[in-house]
Structure 1
Amino acid sequence: MEQPHLAGPSPINPITCVDMHTAGEPTRIIWNNIPPLAGTLLEQRAQAKSRFDEFRRLLMLEPRGHYDMYGAILRPETELVVSGQADMGVLFMHNEGFSTMCGHGTIALGRFLVDVDEKIFPRRKHLSYDPDSRTTALNLHVPCGIVRVTVPTLSSGKSDAERPVSFVSVPSFATATSLTVSVPEKYRWAELGGRSSVTVDIAYGGAYYCMVSAEELGFPGGLGEVALQDMDRASKLLKETVVANPELQYLTRDSRTAEEGFLYGVMITDSRLGHVSAVEGSAASRAQLDAGSEETGLCFFANQQIDRSPTGSCVAARVALAYAAGSLAKGEKRVYNSLVTRAHRGLAGFVGSVFDDAGSGGVRVCVEGYAYYTGYHTFVVEKEDGLGVDGFSVRDIAL
C-alpha cells in the first residue's frame, strides 16, 4: 500500500514521534520530516511561526492531538550546537504557537536523548558520563538560552526511570513582588466581588509568569475546591488586564538585557496544599524527603492551556521569586505540585532549589522531575482529508 502523504504547497511525509509525559503533562517529540528550517535557533523559530504553522497544528490539535497537547521539535543544527556550546537544539510548541522554554519537556527530552542513537542525536557519543553519580550530562539549546540537563543512567547506557532528571535553568528573576494591579471594569470577573484590584507577583524562568494566590483571585476555598471553568475565566481576564496595560509592560522586560518579552502564563497558587499521603518508596515520597516546604499550583498558559505538571519554567520563576523574597534559602528544596501530582499517589511533583547566583539579581534554579514513555506514533495525512493540516479545537469552533 502506498504511504499517504500531505498534498499541497508544503508536502509532509509520514511523521514519526515519541510521546512521553512528565508528571502527567505530554511531550510529543518529533525528529523526522520536519519542514526546512535554517539559521539560528531563533530564526528557525520565526520561520516555523510564519511559514510552517500548519506543521504545529497538524501535530498539536485534533484529530491527532488535543487542546492541551505539547510538542518538541529536535533541531540538531543550531549556532550553539555548531560552536560546541550545546549538544542539541529544540523548538517547543503548544496550542497557540511556539514557546521560549519548557521545563517538563526538557525533563522528557533528557531521557529521550540519552536513550537514542546517533541517527537521531548526532552528538550522542560526545556526552559525558559520570560513573560516581551514574548520570549523563548534556546541554540543550532552547529559545531562551542553554539549559544544563543531568540524566540518571543505567550501566547499559540507557536512562534510569527510577531516578529524577534535573536541569539547571537560564538566569531567572523576579520583576515584581506583591504588586497591586488595578482591574478595569471590563476585565473584572465575578469572584472579585466588589474589589477593583488584585495583588500579584511576576517572575521569569525562561518565560514570564504572573503568580497569584487562589484566595487573592477570589476563590477562598483555594485549590482544594477547584472550579476549573471559573478559574479559567478569572486567569484569562487577569492576563488580559496585565497585557493590555502599557504601564505594566516593564514587568516582562528583561532587567539585564532590556529585551521585550510577553506574559506566557498565570499560575494560581495555594501554599496550604501539599501532597496526599504518598505510597512508601514511591517517586512522590522520594521527591519530598529533603524538601522543607511544599506548594500546589494550577497553571494556565498560552491560549488557556492547562499544564498537568507543576510547570518547570514556572518552578524556576517561583524559586527565583521565593529567593528574592527571602522565603527560600540557597540550596533549600521546595516541592511544587500540580493538581495532578497532588491527587495521584506515587506521582511526584517537581523539586526546585537555587543552584547558584546568576548576577544582576538573578539566580539559576535546579528543577528535578520524572518523565515516562507513553507511546510511539507515525502520523499521516491523506490528500482526500478535508482537514488537511488545519487541525481543529472544539473549544475554538464558532458556528
Structure 2
Amino acid sequence: MDLVQQFEQSSYGEIIKCIDMHTTGEPTRIIYSGFPLLEGTLLQKRDQAKNQYDNIRKRIMLEPRGHYDMYGAIIIPETELVQSGDAHIGTLFTHNEGFSTMCGHATIALGRFLVDTHDLTVFPRRNELKPDLVAREVKLNIHAPCGLVRVVVPTSKDGQKSDPSRPVTFFSTPAYCAGTNIEVPIPEKLRWPELGDRSSLRVDISYGGAYYALVDARELGFSGGLRNFELESIVTAAKTLKSLLPSIPEVSKALQHPEDKRLSFLYSVMVVDHEIGFKPDGADGSETGLCLFAENQIDRSPTGSCVAARMALAHAKNLRGEGQTWAYNSVVSNHFNTGAFTAAIVNEDIPIEGENNDTQMGVVVRVEGKAYYTGSMTFIVENGDGTSESGFTMQACAK
C-alpha cells in the first residue's frame, strides 16, 4: 500500500480534502470533505465553526499547509435555503482571522467547481442544475452567510463542465451605501509620513455582503495614488486607519445591518484610485483598489463583494446608473492586464429591512470574473504533530 492509499484509508487520522483555485491571483481553497458536520441555520453553523472548530480553520488556512494570505470556502451541502429549495448548496468563507459573510472571488471559483464536480457526496443536488445548451451556461444558487447569491457559470457545449474561457457571473445580495464623508481623526502619534500635517481624513462605508471602509489613496496622503506606490507604506496607513475606525461613533452606526447583528462588523479597508485601471472591452470606465481585510490580509483580486459595495456607493453618489458597466482592478490585474472584474447595477431600490436597524434601500449588482484551478490536496495531521495541528503564523511566533 502506497502513501496516498494510506491517506485515503485514514491511517493518519483526520482527513481533509480540498481543491485549490485562484481568481486574479487570490486563492480559494475549497474544502469539500472532512470538515466536521455543523448544525442549525447557516449563520448558526458559522457560529459553531468559529466557536468549536477554529483550530481546523487555522490548520487549513495557516502554515504549514497554507499561508498568511490564504482564503477558503467550506462546502455546506444542507442549509435552510437548500431545504426550502431556494439554494442548491451553502458555503462558509474563511480566512486568516476567521469567517467572512461574503466573498466574490471565492463565489466565482465555487461556481466553476460546483459545475465541474459530479460527485453527489460533495454536491448532493448537482443533478438539479439544468444547463442551457443554447446559451452554454448553467444557473445555480449558493447560500452564503449574507444571503442567497445567484451564480451563472459558462459551460461546455454539453453543459457538463465549466468553460474557463468565459467569466463566471454572480448577482449580489442587496448592497447599499451606509455612510459617506465620515471624518476620522488621526492621533498625532499614529500619523504616517505621507499624511503630512493633516489631523483627519474622510471615508465612506458601504455594504456588499460585508462592510467596507473606502478611502481614496490621495486622501491617505499618497499623491501618486496606486501607480508605482510603496506597498509597505500604504499598507501601514490602511492598517492604522482600520484600527481607528471602530472607535468612531458614526462608523459604528453605519455598520449596523438591518437584518442581523452577526453581519454588523467592519471587514475591510479598501484603498481606491479612480484615475487608473486596466479597462477591458465593453467597460464604460475603470478604477483600481487595494483591499486590506480580516487580519490585514491583502486581496490579490479586485474583491468581488467590495465591487458590489463600490457600485452601491457610486450609485448613492449619482456616479453610476443602472446598466452602466464598470471595470474594477487590483494591482495584480493591472500588472498582467487581465483579471479585472466587471460590474453593473441590474436592480435598484431593493429594501433591506429587519429588526436590527432602519430599513435601507439597496441595489443588486452583477459581477463577472474568471477563476482557474491550481491543484488538489489531501491534508492530514500525524499524531504528535503539535506544530501543525492548529496551524501557525510567523507573526504570532515572533511575539
User: How far did residue 386 of structure 1 move?
Assistant: 2.9
| 1:211 matches 2:202 | no
Figure out how many residues of one structure are paired with residues of the other and give that number. 383
Q: Which amino acid aligns with 1:396?
A: A
Correspondence for 1:45:
46
1:235, 1:300 within 8 Å by CA — same for their partners in 2? yes
Q: Distance in 1 between matches of 2:389 and 2:164?
A: 35
| 1:271 matches 2:274 | yes
Correspondence for 1:303:
295
2:217, 2:271 within 8 Å by CA — same for their partners in 1? yes
User: How far did residue 12 of structure 1 move?
Assistant: 5.6
Q: Which amino acid aligns with 1:390?
A: S
1:12, 1:33 within 8 Å by CA — same for their partners in 2? no
Correspondence for 1:129:
131
TM-score normalized by the length of structure 2:
0.92
Return closer, same or farther for 1:260/1:71 CA change in 2, 3 Å cut-off: closer
Correspondence for 2:310:
318
Q: Distance in 2 between matches of 1:342 and 1:241?
A: 30
User: How far did residue 177 of structure 1 move?
Assistant: 2.0
Correspondence for 1:379:
379
Q: Distance in 1 between matches of 2:122 and 2:37?
A: 17
Correspondence for 1:199:
202
Correspondence for 1:254:
257
Q: Which runs of 4+ in 1 moved over 4 A?
A: 255-260
Q: Distance in 2 between matches of 1:373 and 1:224?
A: 29
User: How far did residue 109 of structure 1 move?
Assistant: 0.3
Q: Which amino acid aligns with 2:154?
A: P
Correspondence for 2:354:
none
Return closer, same or farther for 1:34/1:255 CA change in 2, 3 Å cut-off: closer
Task: Please give the per-residue CA displacement for 1:94-123, whole angstroms capped at 9, x wherever unaligned.
Answer: 000000000000000000000101231111
1:203, 1:317 within 8 Å by CA — same for their partners in 2? yes
Correspondence for 2:223:
220
Correspondence for 2:364:
364
User: How far did residue 133 of structure 1 move?
Assistant: 1.8
TM-score normalized by the length of structure 1:
0.92
Q: Distance in 2 between matches of 1:343 and 1:20?
A: 20
72-81 vs 219-228, greater mean Cα deviation: 219-228
Q: Distance in 2 between matches of 1:19 and 1:38?
A: 26
Secondary structure of 1:249's counterpart equals helix
1:266, 1:299 within 8 Å by CA — same for their partners in 2? yes
| 1:84 matches 2:76 | no
Q: Distance in 2 between matches of 1:160 and 1:78?
A: 28
Q: Distance in 2 between matches of 1:327 and 1:367?
A: 18
Correspondence for 1:292:
284
User: How far did residue 246 of structure 1 move?
Assistant: 3.3
Correspondence for 2:389:
389
Structure 1 gap ranges (5+): 276-286
Return closer, same or farther for 1:247/1:199 CA change in 2, 3 Å cut-off: closer
377-386 vs 137-146, greater mean Cα deviation: 377-386
User: How far did residue 302 of structure 1 move?
Assistant: 0.3
Correspondence for 1:351:
342
Correspondence for 2:236:
233
Q: Distance in 2 between matches of 1:103 and 1:174?
A: 18
Secondary structure of 2:284's counterpart equals strand
Structure 2 gap ranges (5+): 352-359
